[in-house]
Structure 1
Amino acid sequence: MKYRYTIILLSILIISGCSNNGSDNNLKQENEELKVENEELQQEIARLSEVNEELELDLKIAGLEGSRKVDQLTNKITSLQFDNERQKELINRYQRVLKFPVSNTRTISDTANIFSPDQVKVNNQIAGLIVSDIKTEAINDAIAYFIKFTGEFEVKGTIIRQGNDYSFMVNENLESMPHTLWEFERGSIFFDINNGEELRKALGDQLDTLPEDGQLEIVGVFKNYYYNEIPDSDSLPSYAEFVRLISEN
């Protein structure tokens, strides 16, 4: 009897041990599977992080590109507006010129006192001035012109100070002095004043206190206008002599 109980007890222990080994094996397998899933999840998180960084970079690039295109469009609009205003001014000047009375012996360019450097001749009279000298010189495969106009002319414009030197800008009533078609289309005539001391005597403190690059509008009389046109250069601008002041603003 005692022997039988012993056998039964041993059987129960063996069955229990086998059961525990099975549970342990199942837990180990589940743990390995969880490790694999965790590694796969970490890889997926890393991939998504890379994708997110790429998307953020793409957004930054798109934003910068958008800003650049907006700036380009803004600059283009500004340029078109400037060109539009310039065309309006040019049309106004042409309309004013076309209203000039033109005789049978004078063309519109004659009436507006527009001259061509390659066609003007000595003794021609333009805006009351006489062409007294013409010189040409070949520079950089082009022709440079040096034309002297003798006589006085009255113009309204702006004195521009650059250090101890002074220049003059005529930006209305260009027909009051000789000018080229290019100057007409630009809407201004620019020349240096080569006797600044006489100008300073006439304007006194107003000129002395004029700041660097400052401007002062006057109506003045000038003489001996030297028109210089050198291809692709501004090293020798046109110039004239100041004679007297008519009025100042």
Structure 2
Amino acid sequence: MTFYGIQLPLIIIAAITAFIGYQFNFRAKRREVFLKEISISYNEVYFPMYELLRNIKATEEKATQLLLLDEFFQKFSGPESKVRFIGTGTKLEYYYEFELAYKKHETNQTRTNENELFQKFNLFNSMMNEEFWEAHEIIYEDHLKFKNLFNKNPFLIAIFELVNFVQNTINFFVWTSLFILYFSVWNNYQRWNVIPEWWSLNIAIQLCLYLTVFSLITKTISHQITKKNRRKNTIVKGLIKKLSFKIKKLFIQIINQQRN
């Protein structure tokens, strides 16, 4: 099939290539703008605010904490305040609630207002602690990677990049296999015409398990090479461990049902 003398497949390929190129350039520009904005936020607000909040939190005496809060709001209050560089709207909104509780306490220093002030402080401190470390990890995400690959043989660097590409590709196939497994489970109980007759739940389980194992192997190799500059998060690790255990248990139950 032709369109004005040009083969239609060529037109489709050219359109897809142009679209991918546009998306790549658009994302690259957006990433550049994002990194510039978050670097400003990190240097102007997150780091100095993190230091002050940490000092207040580490202080045990309430009187000293109140003095440090005075210093905190003297630095960050007013029309020229750099809190405008806080990128997350919910955290900026909560800062103003925190500031309002501070002014309320300054006007009427009662025990109730003091308790409200420190409740706002504890929550805002937790928010900004999270915001600070997230920004730090984004800005310095590839720090250890480039440090590890600095002055390495170009041939080895190419191999390392290939391993990283393979790992990302395998991750995509792992998620795809999970979707396939999900539909295969439903197909096991309710036959759908769209799924071939030769396909079975056992094949879906094996495919998912093989890809997961291969993904873990490539991820281990990639981690040793790239060394992502990430903090340890025991809460997230605990959730992942529990989720992995439940998925494993589900697989065992399904396999036992198939054998019976």
How would you bin the TM-score normalised by the shorter chain?
A: under 0.3
TM-score w.r.t. the length of structure 1 is 0.28
Compare CA radii of gyration and give the structure with the larger one: 1
TM-score w.r.t. the length of structure 2 is 0.27
- Comparing both chains, which one has the higher relative contact order based on Cα–Cα distances under 8 Å and sequence gaps of 6 or more? 2
Higher helix share: 2
Higher strand share: 1
